[in-house]
Amino acid sequence: MSCLICNQDTKNFVDEKSTIAYSYCPHCQLISKSTEHFKPISEQKERYDLHENDPGDEGYRAYFRRFLDFVLPLVGTPKSALDFGCGRSSLLADMLKEEGIESDYYDPVYHPENLINSKKYQLIVSTEVFEHLHDPKAVFAQLLEMIEEGGYLALQTQFHPNDIEAFKKWYYHLDPTHIVFFTPRTFSVLCEMHSCTLVTDNGKNMVVVKKTS
């Protein structure tokens, strides 16, 4: 099987507990579930509907605050932003507005009408989205096209431990809607492919990319 990111040959392994097969790319470190576990949006929605993302929940707000506290000092003073894959809630876009950043939000399940492909932004944020994507390389390229030159893409997704035995014990891949798993190296390779710059990552679950051309 070829890697979904870099098309290099992958190594296959099986999680003995779930019997799910995975592929691991030694080049870019992407791990992906076998494609029979790539569920259509309709089936994924059943899982998403169980999420209790209450905008009035202080814990939910603090969750996004940690993300913004990492991202905003790195991206200057953007005037426009898009929350890509926001889920039911527009809370992250609302919090960006509180920072003086005019913000839109989009989700293919809950707000599919909100995406204006011709519109460009100085900042696009996407939290806990990339692990669900059937074609993460294409979505990464799509988002870059929607960013103004010199703008930023900020992503949050849990980085896998880059050790197969440790991965099998990792909680994050147990969610049936989580199908692809990244490390900072994966995003570094994506940046090389798309001539953009990996600004930094937090070593755990956040990465900031700058569009330079």
Q: Are 33 and 179 in contact (CB under 8 A)?
A: yes
Q: With CA atoms as reference, report the closest residue to 188 among 164, 166, 210.
A: 210
Q: How far apart are the C-alpha atoms of 99 and 41, rounded to whole Å?
A: 32
- For 200, the token pair is 């930094």
- For 126, the token pair is 């996407």
Confirm whether pTM is higher than 0.85: yes
Residue 103 β-bridge partners: 81
Q: What is the pLDDT of residue 119?
A: 92
Q: Are 59 and 83 in contact (CB under 8 A)?
A: no
CA-to-CA dists, residue 112 to 35, 92, 105, 106, angstroms: 24, 17, 10, 6
Q: What is the pLDDT of residue 114?
A: 79
Collapsing DSSP to helix, strand or coil, 205 comes out as coil
Residue that has been written with the tokens 């703008």 in this structure: 151
- For 213, the token pair is 């051309």
Residue that has been written with the tokens 């990464």 in this structure: 140
Q: What is the pLDDT of residue 50?
A: 55
Q: How far apart are the C-alpha atoms of 116 and 137, rounded to whole Å?
A: 20
Q: What is the mean pLDDT of each run of 10 residues along the chain (213 residues)?
A: 96 96 98 92 62 70 97 97 93 97 94 84 97 96 96 98 98 95 98 96 98 86
Q: How many CB atoms lie within 10 A of CB 26?
A: 10
* Domains of the chain, first to last: 41-158+186-210 (3.40.50.150)
Parallel/antiparallel/unpaired status of strands 11-14 and 21-24: antiparallel
Q: For the chain, percent helix, then strand, then coil, each to nearest 5?
A: 35, 25, 40
> pLDDT by residue (tens digit) across 4-62?
999 999 999 999 999 999 999 999 999 999 999 998 776 666 565 555 566 667 888 99
